[in-house]
Amino acid sequence: MMRYMLLPLILPLTHVLASEPLAYPRVYWENSVKVWLVVAIAIYILVAIPSIYFAIKYRYRPGQHEEGEHIEGNTALEIVWTVIPTIIVLFLGTYSFANFVKQRNAPEGAMELKVTAFMWGWEVEYPNGKKIFAFFNPDGFTAPEDQKVYIPAGKPVKVYLTSRDVIHSFFVHPARITEDAVPGRITHTWFQINKPGEYFVFCREYCGTWHSHMFAILKVVPEGEFNRWLGVTTQ
Ligand SMILES: [Cu+2]
């Protein structure tokens, strides 16, 4: 029991001690969630336990304190319960905003991809003009090799998004980031996946018949392999 009660306190610690996380920018979002969770649980305990204690201690008993007592107030107490919450709110606000800024803005030097959503698939254009089309698959969540979107491991990728028809949403599952793809508009997002493997992008805005099978497979490979695939020779 005690172990589970301590979990919200231990989780952020394990996060600090953990090695390179699987993907960005989920890390920033998760940092904010963990801090809010710890603060919320601490405040809940601070309020709930005394509330139960006082509710029992000062419960109504016939003949006792029936007249009631007049209390003027307590200036010191009021200052304390105004100042402390103000500090907590300012901390949560600035900390979360700092995380949001990192979550929203791609790091310098990110590879830029142009992604155009359509009913029902994704067109991905690489900086050298190479294009990959990832089409929906009614038979399952698999794709032929030439429809896989190659991504270099451990490198930030900035995505410029638009749509050819209706509103879609580009959800990079391992990075826990989503952004609308809107016709006539260019939106942006970014992600970085550190561990090679295959991951999913899903459409996260209902867009018609095959919305539920509108996906792309991200094939994350080491940078050298990615460059060979892209046709870029760096050496
Ligand atoms: Cu869609």
Residue 95 identity: Y
Report whether the peptide linkage leading into residue 122 is cis, meaning its omega lies within 30 degrees of zero. no
pLDDT averaged over consecutive 10-residue blocks of the chain (235 residues)? 56 57 91 93 95 93 82 92 95 94 94 96 96 92 94 96 97 95 97 96 95 96 95 66
> 210 CA distance to ligand 1 centroid (A)?
8
How many CB atoms lie under 10 A from the CB of residue 168? 32
Cα gap 223→81, rounded to integer Å = 54
Would you state the pLDDT for residue 10?
A: 58
* Ligand 1 (single-atom ion) residues, CB below 5 Å: 168, 203, 207, 214
> 159 CA distance to ligand 1 centroid (A)?
16
Report whether the peptide linkage leading into residue 138 is cis, meaning its omega lies within 30 degrees of zero. no
Would you state the pLDDT for residue 14?
A: 55
What phi and psi values does residue 44 have, to the nearest 5 degrees? -60, -45
Structure tokens belonging to residue 148: 């896989």
**Exposed e or buried b per residue across 8-28, where buried means at least 16 C-beta atoms within 10 angstroms of its C-beta:** beeebeeeeeeeeebbbbbbb
Would you state the pLDDT for residue 18?
A: 56
- Domains in the chain (CATH in brackets) are 2-104 (1.10.287), 111-230 (2.60.40.420)
> 128 CA distance to ligand 1 centroid (A)?
26
- The upper half-sphere exposure of residue 100, i.e. CA atoms within 13 Å in the direction of its Cβ, equals 6
> 179 CA distance to ligand 1 centroid (A)?
12
If you search the block for the tokens 């959800």, which residue do you land on? 171
Cα distances (angstroms) measured from residue 61 to each of 28, 65, 67: 52, 8, 12
Would you state the pLDDT for residue 66?
A: 80
> 158 CA distance to ligand 1 centroid (A)?
20
Cα gap 189→121, rounded to integer Å = 18
> 180 CA distance to ligand 1 centroid (A)?
10
Would you state the pLDDT for residue 179?
A: 97
